[in-house]
A = this chain, B = another copy of it.
């Protein structure tokens, strides 16, 4: 293995995490102390990312970012865009940072994103690693805020055409959990009865045998899971229901 970095090439991940109220993004703290440890020159947030090693490819780099946070196997990451403007790094802070890290300021970033339910994935928040609701982001360095915006738009449009909602929900889910996931992720409201009818009619949303999930003081609800096998077997016609024309 050749662990020298390719100096002008990095990979970053937009990690979307759904909780009961919000769609969140996982961010790393970016701090730089120059003169006084109590007054950092830079103190904001950025996407988790790293430079690519000479002997690894893009997917491997993205995977290793994710492995820093959790031991769970994280899957279904999507490469969505590469940022390579020659003006990407242009604020004083950004230039300071790249100089202090010894990387080139003309830097290509290949961005992946990933969507998952916060509750089932074990990511430990720390001082320098936190979830932020997508509509309450903190101050963010580089062009990462617009990357997040782009990725969110892409996520929303993929939700309409690909079965990625099932990544945002635990493997076994109730129909109401699925509905709420749609509502939060797309920022819409849905009619419960119509939603259930539509979901139940999909062959790839399979009811689980007599298993129910009990909480306190209410009717236990039926669990379902998504079958990608069944989904894949359907024709394209069943997937894409209507075209833009």
Residue numbers of A with Cβ under 8 A of B are 6, 8-9, 52, 54-59, 79, 81-82, 84-87, 106, 108, 110, 157, 159-163, 165, 182, 195, 198-199, 202, 239-245
Contact = CB atoms under 8 A, between A and B. Distances in A.
Task: Report, nearest first, the 5 A-B pairs whose CB atoms are least far apart.
Answer: A241-B242, A82-B82, A58-B84, A57-B85, A160-B243
Given A58-B84, A82-B110, 18 more contacts: A6-B8, A9-B108, A54-B106, A79-B81, A82-B82, A108-B108, A157-B161, A157-B240, A159-B243, A160-B161, A160-B242, A160-B243, A161-B161, A165-B245, A182-B245, A195-B245, A198-B245, A239-B244
Name, among A52, A81, A82, the residue most crowded by chain B CB atoms within 10 Å (CB to CB): A82
A6 B6 CA distance: 12
Nearest to A110: B82
Q: What copy number does this chain have within its complex? A: 2
B9 A244 contact: no
Nearest to A201: B245
Main secondary structure of the interface of A (DSSP, over half): mixed
Contacts of A245: 165, 182, 195, 198-199, 202
A56 B86 contact: yes
